[in-house]
């Protein structure tokens, strides 16, 4: 297991290593075949300059490597958002708040990571810049052809899993942090959306977008969140037995593949054996939405002029979903906003007596890239089959995680598989502003599952 940021900071304080030495290890990892297609732009020299700045080792991120998803503004660089449609756009005049906070905390920005074009998919495929493979499925103990990394923060997830970065800054609109975390065997924390500014990031859904990060451990997730949200997490020493937990049976456990079902059941049993109080509950049915919900109409509002100019450069799968947003009537959108608030109230009423809920992050293990990547366009039958499989997989990967975004909630995915299994994520979640409890519970769960 790779050392996490906190352990590396301790080594820095003890003089056992230096920030430049650790950065070179990350740069070496970033240049191996394990990170093929993970980065769309590397910033190695700039990162080296940061790592040797006086006093950087005393800052929270200590000059250590951080990657940045390609939709965040970095001063002096363009922000393509995984697309070629923005070719020729001017460079950003300044860092977005999330990047500025990482820099102020001493981060060495190692590069911009690949992503799904305009963040519109949970699969992780990008026809413009290639698709990074999920780390464990391609280079770990499990043999087989390359598997999807999860999206939309695909490169960010692989950069953390392979050791190229300690923190992968990304975004989560329907699961885009937690899905790649689950499929790459790392930790992904989606905070309550309002806690971290999304200014200076290319939007997908202004209602649901969240700026957050992936890390190697839960304790690193706490550090990353404190930096990004500019707040301190209230820590608790209460044992897990003092928390009341629940496993919702509605939707979240439907159609699990065998590996996910086995890992989830094993994990819940281990927590019960450790003294956790865990109920099984029903929750209200998930909010019914028009096709693509908030994302399509809100994305279309941002993209409509760009589509007129450079629509032919879009991934057709992405363009088709964005253009669906043009069909939603204003009254339908207003009804959706009101229905969401009513649904949130019903959900919170049933969840209120619990400190956190437990679910599989995604119901399946990572599919093969070859099954969902765009075909060559010459065989219409093959094209149609791959498109159908892509949308089936995309819906499954987003199914559990997107509930939390609709809830305006917070959630953390942590690994719960064992050696020899493909990566599986356990999602710990609740409603808005329950971030500290979710983090504290997750920290204890991680310790129990690692025993």
Phi, psi torsion values for 88, nearest 5 degrees: 90, -5
| Each residue's pLDDT tens digit, 253-276 | 999 999 999 999 999 999 999 999
The secondary element (H helix, E strand) that includes residue 247 is strand 244-248
Q: Could you confirm whether 380 is annotated as catalytic?
A: no
Q: Looking at the domain assignment, is residue 301 inside a domain?
A: no
Q: What CATH number corresponds to the domain at position 406?
A: 3.90.1300.10
- What is the spatial distance between Cα 417 and Cα 315, in angstroms, rounded to a whole number? 33
**In which band, very low, low, confident or very high, does the pLDDT at 250 lie, cut at 50, 70 and 90?**
confident
């002096």: which residue's tokens? 76
Structure tokens at 92: 């950003």
**pLDDT tens string 46-105:** 999 999 999 999 999 999 999 999 999 999 999 999 999 998 899 999 999 999 999 999
Residues in a beta bridge with 69: 113
Residue 378: what pLDDT?
Answer: 55
Catalytic status, residue 83:
no
Q: Could you confirm whether 190 is annotated as catalytic?
A: no
What is the rounded CA–CA span in Å between residue 53 and residue 419?
40
User: Per residue in 337-356, pLDDT tens?
Assistant: 999 999 999 999 999 999 99
321 within domain boundaries = no
Catalytic residue of the set 34, 67, 83, 176: 176
**Domain extent at residue 184:** 1-287+335-451
pLDDT above 90: residue 382 = no
Please give the structure tokens belonging to residue 204: 């997908």
CB 44 within 8 A of CB 52: no
In a domain, 303, yes or no: no
CA-based angle 414:417:421, to the nearest 5? Answer: 140
The distance of Cα 212 from the centroid of its chain, to the nearest Å, equals 8
Residue 253 inside a domain? The answer is yes
Cα-Cα end-to-end distance for the chain: 14
pLDDT single digits (tens) 175-232? 999 999 999 999 999 999 999 999 999 999 999 999 999 999 999 999 999 999 999 9
Whether the pLDDT of residue 377 is over 90: the answer is no
Whether residue 234 is contained in a domain is answered as yes
- Catalytic choice (69, 83, 153, 190): 69
The CA distance from 299 to 35, in Å, is 30
Region 380-394: what's the mean pLDDT?
89
CA dist., res. 192 & res. 406, Å (int):
11
- Given 152, 154, 171, 442, the catalytic residue: 152
Q: Is residue 312 part of a domain?
A: no
Is residue 308 over pLDDT 60?
yes
What's the rounded Cα separation, in Å, for the pair 110 and 62?
Answer: 14
- Please tell me the pTM assigned to this model: 0.97
317 within domain boundaries: no
- 3-state class (DSSP) for residue 430: strand
Q: Per the domain annotation, does 67 fall within a domain?
A: yes
Tens-digit pLDDT profile for residues 287-307:
999 878 999 999 999 999 999
Tally the domains of the chain.
1
Instruction: Assess contact for 392 and 412: CB atoms under 8 A.
Output: no
Helix (H) or strand (E) holding 45: helix 44-51
Alpha-carbon gap, residue 325 to 203, rounded angstroms: 14
DSSP class of residue 217? S
């Amino acid at each position: 297991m790779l050392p996490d940021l906190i352990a590396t900071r301790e080594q820095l304080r003890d003089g056992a290593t230096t920030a430049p030495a650790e950065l070179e290890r990350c740069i070496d990892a970033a240049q191996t075949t394990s990170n093929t297609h993970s980065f769309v732009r590397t910033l190695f020299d700039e990162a080296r300059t940061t790592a040797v700045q006086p006093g950087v080792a005393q800052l929270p991120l200590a000059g250590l490597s951080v990657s940045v998803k390609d939709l965040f503004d970095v001063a002096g660089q363009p922000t393509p958002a995984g697309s070629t449609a923005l070719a020729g756009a001017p460079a950003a005049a300044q860092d977005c708040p999330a990047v500025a906070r990482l820099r102020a905390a001493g981060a060495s920005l190692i590069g911009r990571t690949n992503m799904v074009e305009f963040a519109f998919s949970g699969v992780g495929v990008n026809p413009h810049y290639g698709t990074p493979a999920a780390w464990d499925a391609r280079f770990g103990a499990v043999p087989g052809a390359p598997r999807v990394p999860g999206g939309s923060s695909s490169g960010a997830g692989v950069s953390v899993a392979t050791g190229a970065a300690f923190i992968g800054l990304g975004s989560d609109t329907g699961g885009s942090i937690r899905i790649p975390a689950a499929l790459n065997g790392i930790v992904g924390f989606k905070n309550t959306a309002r806690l971290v500014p999304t200014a200076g990031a290319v939007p997908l859904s202004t209602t649901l977008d969240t700026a957050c990060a992936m890390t190697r451990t839960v304790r690193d997730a706490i550090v990353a969140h404190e930096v990004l949200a500019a707040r301190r997490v209230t820590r608790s020493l209460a044992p897990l037995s003092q928390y009341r937990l629940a496993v919702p049976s509605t939707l979240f456990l439907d159609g699990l593949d065998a590996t996910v079902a086995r890992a989830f059941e094993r994990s819940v049993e281990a927590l019960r054996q450790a003294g956790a109080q865990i109920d099984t509950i029903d929750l209200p049915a998930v909010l019914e939405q028009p096709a693509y919900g908030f994302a399509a109409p809100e994305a279309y509002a941002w993209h409509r002029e760009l589509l007129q100019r450079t629509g032919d450069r879009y991934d057709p799968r992405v363009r088709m979903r964005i253009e669906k947003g043009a069909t939603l009537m204003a009254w339908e959108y207003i009804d959706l906003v009101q229905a969401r608030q009513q649904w949130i109230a019903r959900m919170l009423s049933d969840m209120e007596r619990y400190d956190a809920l437990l679910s599989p992050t995604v119901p399946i293990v990572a599919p093969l890239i070859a099954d969902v990547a765009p075909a060559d366009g010459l065989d219409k039958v093959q094209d149609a089959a791959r498109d159908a499989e892509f949308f089936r997989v995309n819906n499954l990967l987003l199914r559990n995680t997107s509930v939390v975004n609709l809830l305006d909630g917070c959630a953390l995915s942590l690994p719960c598989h064992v050696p020899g299994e493909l990566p599986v994520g356990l999602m710990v979640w609740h409603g808005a502003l329950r971030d500290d409890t979710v983090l504290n519970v997750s920290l204890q769960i991680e310790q129990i599952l690692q025993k």
